[in-house]
Amino acid sequence: MPRKPRVSLAGVAEHVIQRGNNRQAIFACEDDMKAYVTWLKQYSKKYKVAIHAWVLMTNHVHILCSPSSHSAISQMMQSLGRMYVMCFNKSYKRSGTLWEGRYRSCLVQNEEYLLALYRYIELNPVRAGMVQEPREYSWSSYQCNALGKQSDLLTAHPIYLGINEDAKLRQAAYRALFTHHVEPTLIEDIRKGIKGVRAVLSNLY
């Protein structure tokens, strides 16, 4: 059966997830994560994809981003995936696939849902029991969005900027969104959306 084409629209945010094959580890150490971020920076700029939020977990990654064209995210992820696998295989003297097939993605067209996705992505390490607070995890965008850490990988989404014109007040309001965990029903909606690949999520519930 031929693969169905992805739906990707210029300027519309997408939630992207890519997992290791059979959920195997894709990062064995922090140097691997540094390498991945380096290539993500390079190819997001090359293909003009704005990165709004991200988290690197042991066996998968989440990225919230907006493309400049319908093919930009696909080009970015293909180039990033090939380069990272080549470096990973060379470092660990292995061969073969690393990824669980193609990355998955879902369009995001609702303001409240987009902010919920920020929380869902940046709370991944907390849900996994890796840290107690999202600020403790270095390999996500939380320290940038909530604490003002500078990163040339990050491009603020207009909805994030609309929280408050003042950066300090915006960060404080953003941190307040993390005083409670993402609701189980919303987590299920997010997971169903990403499994659907082509679904456009326009409603929070």
Q: To which H or E segment does residue 106 belong?
A: strand 104-108
Nearest to residue 70, comparing CAs of 110, 122, 115, 14?
A: 14
d(CA 172, CA 128): 25
Across 21-48, average pLDDT = 97
pTM exceeding 0.95: no
- Is the CB of residue 36 less than 8 Å from the CB of residue 84? yes
Nearest to residue 8, comparing CAs of 60, 79, 75, 84?
A: 75
Q: Tell me the C-alpha to C-alpha distance, in Å, between residue 2 and each of 5, 74, 83, 167.
A: 9, 17, 26, 47
pLDDT at 183: 80
pLDDT at 110: 79
- Pick 14-201's CATH classification: 3.30.365.10, 3.40.640.10, 3.30.70.1290, 3.30.420.40: 3.30.70.1290
pLDDT digits (tens, 9 = 90+) for 60-118: 999 999 999 999 999 999 999 999 999 999 999 999 899 998 899 999 977 778 999 99
Whether the per-residue pLDDT at 32 is higher than 90: the answer is yes
| Token couple for 204 | 């929070």
d(CA 67, CA 31): 27
Q: Tell me the C-alpha to C-alpha distance, in Å, between residue 180 and each of 11, 43, 77, 119, 126.
A: 30, 34, 32, 10, 11
Q: Where are the alpha helices (DSSP H) in 29-100?
A: 30-46, 72-91
pLDDT digits (tens, 9 = 90+) for 115-131: 999 999 999 999 999 99
pLDDT at 202: 41
- Is the CB of residue 61 less than 8 Å from the CB of residue 40? no
Band the pLDDT of 9: cuts 50, 70, 90: very high
| Token couple for 121 | 């992505």
The amino acid present at 21, given as its one-letter code, is N
- Is the CB of residue 43 less than 8 Å from the CB of residue 76? yes
| Token couple for 203 | 């409603």
Band the pLDDT of 3: cuts 50, 70, 90: low
d(CA 165, CA 91): 45
pLDDT at 25: 96
